[in-house]
Amino acid sequence: MECYLEGDDEVVLAPASPCSQYMNSSALSISNIAVLETSIPIKDDDSVILSQIRDVFLPINPRFSSIMVTGKNGEKNWKPVKVILEDHLKVPIFPVGKPLEFYDYCLSEYLTKISMDPFPQTQPLWEIHIFRYPTSNAGGNYIFKLHQSLGDGYSLMGALLSCLQRADNPALPLTFPRRQGSGKKQGENSNAVARAFKAVPRLLSGVVDTVTDFSWNFLKSSLLDDDKTAIHSQDDGVEFRPISVTTMTFSLYHLKLIKSSLNVTINDVISGIVTYGTRLYMQENERETCNGECTALVLFNTRAMGGGYKSVSEMIKPNAEMPWGNRITFLPFAIPKLRSPGDGDSSNPLRFIYNAHRMVKRQRYSASLYLTGQFLEFTRKLRGLEATAQFLRRTLKNTSITMTNIIGPVEETTLCNHPIKGMYFAVSGAPQVHIHTSFMLIFYIYRKWHICFH
């Protein structure tokens, strides 16, 4: 099945953004893998998903029908092409009638395989895989593999959700929980003078934090490497090694209890759990290196996220409030070390949660994230795209894990009339070894957090 673009007799090239070019360069080639678990077996009928791709997925954004090409002067652009849908739909075949454990293994191996397979540069950079065999967790699995050059997690999540429908009423749009802060708001009648006096130390602290964070960020990206540990080999080329995807589910009810008790955010709680669990894993595997210098790279969305998700049609409008694209920046922060048993709190995860809370809170008054973005732009203009991509690669290589998160819809959803019971994400192509805490998705309707490690 071929899809033709209207008016494609005269091809119009669209400039690729700098970040898109970084993510699809000789230094970096990063992809996102989204796994949608269905509660029922997936029917043996490709026509339904092909129609969904043609009528819903492709029109979302012109990049899904384009390839990245290099111009005479080295500039990269998006070039519209004819899309042969069958080239992008993959359906693996395995023996039938086997136990669930067999298909669990097959799914794990298949995710490893597709994570290592590079995208052909002669066709649009996305694929959809249908794993029709039942596993211990699902009746079947839809797997979306989307190249990072198409957009960041927020953009690609918006595209993915555009393919889903509400299970209770497909005619209604999906809704999302609004983000809430952890602190109590000041009263409306607060004294203006008192607020001004409080603002002065915050301003000074913000200046110090900006200098400290930006300097640390620059050093991690250029000179300082994490210690060699169970989760960081210091080897080159780890992005070309096989990965193993593992998921864990936490009760959202319990996470909310911790959040309320500690007056922090859900992100603080889950970040503390991840970093604490990482240290325990390191201790279990290599006790002598479990307290080595270990850095987590936290990705931040630079959009104003207070209003939740916007529809894809709103995201691609000129001067959109939350536009499509790669709108992310990053900040490395040191993972706390386990203390000796004599200190009394070596196994206390609250210290890790509070550390994550302090790290995020200080960004409210620090301009380091903004300066990081400006530094990348300065490097691009001075040294070129490949040099900037190499800088980003060193940032990933010199840190041990990456953390980011995406909020999911409130309602239960369906894809091609198949109820979706769970969803998780992984990232391939990043030069980090063993554990990559990938997209953490909240499904409020299921009262669970799905966390993916690889």
Strand partners, 69: 77
Confidence of residue 50 (pLDDT cuts 50, 70, 90): very high
- Is the pLDDT at 6 greater than 90? The verdict is no
Q: What is the mean pLDDT of residues 373-402?
A: 89
What's the CA gap between 302 and 327, in Å, rounded?
6
Q: What is the mean pLDDT of residues 173-184?
A: 65
230 close to 281: Cβ distance less than 8 angstroms: yes
Long-range contacts, 390-393 (Cβ 8 Å, 24+): 390/27, 391/221, 391/222, 392/22, 392/27, 392/28, 392/221, 393/27, 393/28, 393/431
Buried b (16+ CB within 10 A) or exposed e, 146-182: bbbbbbbbbbbbbbbbbbbbbeeeeeeebebeeeeeb
Higher-pLDDT residue of 303 and 379 is: 379
pTM over 0.75: yes
The closest alpha carbon to 133, from 111, 104, 112, belongs to 104
pLDDT at 415: 92
CB atoms within 10 A of CB 184: 7
Confidence of residue 133 (pLDDT cuts 50, 70, 90): very high
Confidence of residue 290 (pLDDT cuts 50, 70, 90): confident
What's the CA gap between 206 and 215, in Å, rounded?
14
- Of 24-28, 42-46, 339-343, the poorest mean pLDDT is in 339-343
If you average pLDDT over every residue of the chain, what do you get?
81
pLDDT at 437: 42
Confidence of residue 138 (pLDDT cuts 50, 70, 90): very high
- Is the pLDDT at 453 greater than 60? The verdict is no
Confidence of residue 246 (pLDDT cuts 50, 70, 90): confident
Q: pLDDT tens digits, residue range 82-93?
A: 999 999 999 999
pLDDT at 110: 96
What's the CA gap between 216 and 282, in Å, rounded?
24
Residue written as token pair 């791709």: 53
- Is the pLDDT at 349 greater than 80? The verdict is yes
Q: pLDDT tens digits, residue range 193-239?
A: 566 666 667 777 778 888 888 888 888 888 889 999 988 888 888 88
What's the CA gap between 15 and 428, in Å, rounded?
25
pLDDT at 444: 38
What's the CA gap between 449 and 177, in Å, rounded?
14
pLDDT at 54: 93
Quick one: CA dihedral 270, 275, 280, 284, positive or negative?
Answer: positive
